[in-house]
Amino acid sequence: MATINELRERIHAESSEEIVHEYLEKIAESKLNAFITVSGESALARARKIDSEGHEGPLAGIPIAIKDNISTKGIRTTCASKILTGYIPPYDAHVIERLKEAGAIIIGKANMDEFAMGTSTETSFYGATKNPWDIERVPGGSSGGSAAAVAGDDVPLALGSDTGGSVRCPASFCGVVGLKPTYGVISRYGLIAYANSLEQIGPFATSVRDVATLFDVIAGYDARDSTSVKRDVNYSSAMKNDVRGLKIGVPEEYFGEGTDEKVEKAVRDAIHKLEDLGASLKDVKMPHTKYALASYYIIAMSEASSNLARFDGMRYGLRVEDSDWHTTFSQVRAAGFGDEVKRRILLGTYALSAGYHDKYYLKALKVRTLIKQDFERAFKNVDVLITPTMPYPAFRLGEKIGDPLSLYLADVDTVPINLAGVPSISVPCGFSEGLPIGMQIIGKHFDEATILRTAYTFEENTDFHIKQPEGV
């Protein structure tokens, strides 16, 4: 495992080409199935170019994996779905433009749940990704490929996307750091939408500092995304080992039924550690938490049912033998989408239908407002909220995939954050039988600096992040 600073030194001493080559070899030998596409040739070519011409960017010559729902010009982008077979975007997502400007080298496209719909990366058309801590277990999802690749040292950095926990869940299961920024901080231009009103692109790394550096590169206003906001912050400057005076809220609603005892203990221990370091604790009430999952899934599925309507085989992607367009559309979609995607499209279509719209979709929006208010009230008295990221550590491959409802329930601690649009980071805070446990630090809107500082201080004073999976 190497940090950005270590890699920069090595690139300086050796070359970017050598580093990229080394990682490409690791990926080739990896058992994790973390990548759908490896763009080795273009990565090496770019590394050579940076070696010969030099580059002043903060990520110059450093390889990065990109979740396969982020558009990359000239590199196929599949969303882990059969329906996008053969689709090569003619344009770069905003974050990809930013990464290229910063000198980063896109080494490949990371595996994920099909269209980001899942909590285990098992719904990928390209096969499940495996957890580097135990290859019998899931890496979490939906950005499982990104998290596993970083945890398994297939790559030092990765981007994921987080609609209801899809960065934080795999960060927690794989023992790495993952950030879900405030809604609007990172342009979604080029991110293939699952649920537009909820999702953000987020960085993965093995340390808080590297997450902050990557975040600095990809954050910022983009006129092509109407929900993008203008903010000028340097997140790397938040790297201060100091939580004195920090007010931490601990919402008991997040430690409820279904939370693994060891997870609860690890998170409470972590909170006390921060208290020892000078923070103070406060009880906060978040009474609408129990409605978050229902609200989240209705909104996400409703938006998804519309977002995924464009995949009809007419202009790109999977094509079936031509018939009249009605038949062709349904055949393409029947053949191209996996079961979980079909399930969510159907449920979302239902929730938006005449006669059900008010009962489900509108009600879900009202609940969303109540949940937002829960956060607003809580943040009047505290600076951050701390909860478990996931109620339990990584489960076994195949354990839950046949039971969609229990998989949905796994998102209980992460979805309220997306409904409220606030930022949240998952950092390693313990282990349970050799499997990592993640702690979730939630901040006020646009106050990533405080959660990054809290996470950094915790990291500086503990060593959970140093432990690596065996055989890596």
Partner 1 sequence: MFDEPNKTNPPFSKGSSKYENPDGVKIGLEVHVQLNKLKTKVFCGCTTDYHNDPPNSHVCPVCLGLPGALPVINKKAVEAAIKVGLALNCKVEEHTQFYRKNYYYPDLPKGFQITQYDFPISSQGYVMIEGEDGEHRIGITRAHMEEDPGRLVHEGTIDKSKYTLIDYNRSGMALLEVVSDPDMRSPKEARRYLDKLRNILEYLDVFDGNLEGALRVDANISIMGGQRAEIKNISSHKGAERALLYEIVRQKNVLRRGGVVVLETRHFDEAREITLSMRSKEEAHDYRYFPEPDLVPLKISGWAPAIKETLPELPDARRMRFVEQYGIADDHAKALTSELKLAVFYEEVAKKADPKMAAVWICDVLKGELNYRDLTIDAFRKEHMLSVIELLASKKITEDGAVDIIRTLLDKGGSPEEIVAQKGLVVVEGDIVSTAAEEAIKENPQAVADYKAGKEKALNSLVGAVMKKTKGRADARAAREVLLGKLG
The reply to whether 221 sits near partner 1 by the rule CB under 8 A is no
| Tokens matching residue 436 | 């990592």
Contact range with partner 1 by CB under 8 A, out of 117-125, 186-194, 385-393, 461-469: 186-194
Q: State which amino acid sits at residue 311.
A: F
Q: Are 142 and 129 in contact (CB under 8 A)?
A: no
Name the active-site residue from 16, 30, 39, 67: 67
The reply to whether 314 sits near partner 1 by the rule CB under 8 A is yes
Q: Lay out the site mask for partner 1 across 85-104 (x = CB under 8 A, - = otherwise).
A: --x-xxx-x-----------
Question: Where in 163-207 does DSSP place strands (E)?
Answer: 177-180, 200-205
The reply to whether 446 sits near partner 1 by the rule CB under 8 A is no
Name residues contacting partner 1, limited to 326-345 (CB under 8 A).
Answer: 326, 329
Nearest of 216, 276, 215, 264 to residue 457 by alpha carbon = 276
The reply to whether 225 sits near partner 1 by the rule CB under 8 A is yes
The reply to whether 468 sits near partner 1 by the rule CB under 8 A is no
CA dist., res. 452 & res. 319, Å (int): 45
Count of residues touching partner 1 (by CB under 8 A): 46
Q: How does DSSP classify residue 75?
A: B
Q: State which amino acid sits at residue 171.
A: A
The reply to whether 244 sits near partner 1 by the rule CB under 8 A is no
Judged on CB neighbours under 10 Å (0-12, 13-18, 19+), 266 is buried
Smallest gap from residue 100 Cβ to partner 1 (A): 16
Among 33, 39, 77, 142, the residue binding partner 1 under the rule CB under 8 A is 77
435 three-class SS = strand
Among 134, 253, 303, 340, the residue binding partner 1 under the rule CB under 8 A is 303
Contact range with partner 1 by CB under 8 A, out of 53-61, 324-332, 390-398, 422-430: 324-332
The reply to whether 302 sits near partner 1 by the rule CB under 8 A is yes
Q: Is 142 a catalytic residue?
A: yes
| Tokens matching residue 120 | 């285990």
Q: Is 424 a catalytic residue?
A: no
DSSP bridge pairs for 456: none
Among 140, 141, 190, 391, the residue binding partner 1 under the rule CB under 8 A is 190
Q: Is 172 a catalytic residue?
A: no
CA dist., res. 9 & res. 236, Å (int): 18
Among 158, 193, 205, 397, the residue binding partner 1 under the rule CB under 8 A is 193
Among 354, 380, 402, 433, the residue binding partner 1 under the rule CB under 8 A is 354
The reply to whether 192 sits near partner 1 by the rule CB under 8 A is yes
Phi and psi (nearest 5°) for 105?
A: -115, 120
Among 224, 272, 282, 285, the residue binding partner 1 under the rule CB under 8 A is 224
Contact range with partner 1 by CB under 8 A, out of 173-181, 256-264, 298-306, 464-472: 298-306
Among 312, 340, 413, 459, the residue binding partner 1 under the rule CB under 8 A is 312
Q: What sign has the CA pseudo-torsion 360, 167, 108, 48?
A: positive
Helices 16-29 and 40-53 pack at an angle, to 10 degrees, of 160
| Tokens matching residue 448 | 């990533």
Judged on CB neighbours under 10 Å (0-12, 13-18, 19+), 207 is buried
Which lies closer to partner 1 via its Cβ, residue 163 or residue 426?
163
Cα angle: 178, vertex 180, 182; to 5 degrees: 150
Binding-site ranges for partner 1 (CB under 8 A): 69-71, 77, 79, 84, 87, 89-91, 93, 188-193, 195-197, 223-227, 302-303, 305-306, 308-312, 314-316, 325-326, 329, 349, 352-354, 357, 361
Residues with a known catalytic role: 67, 142, 166
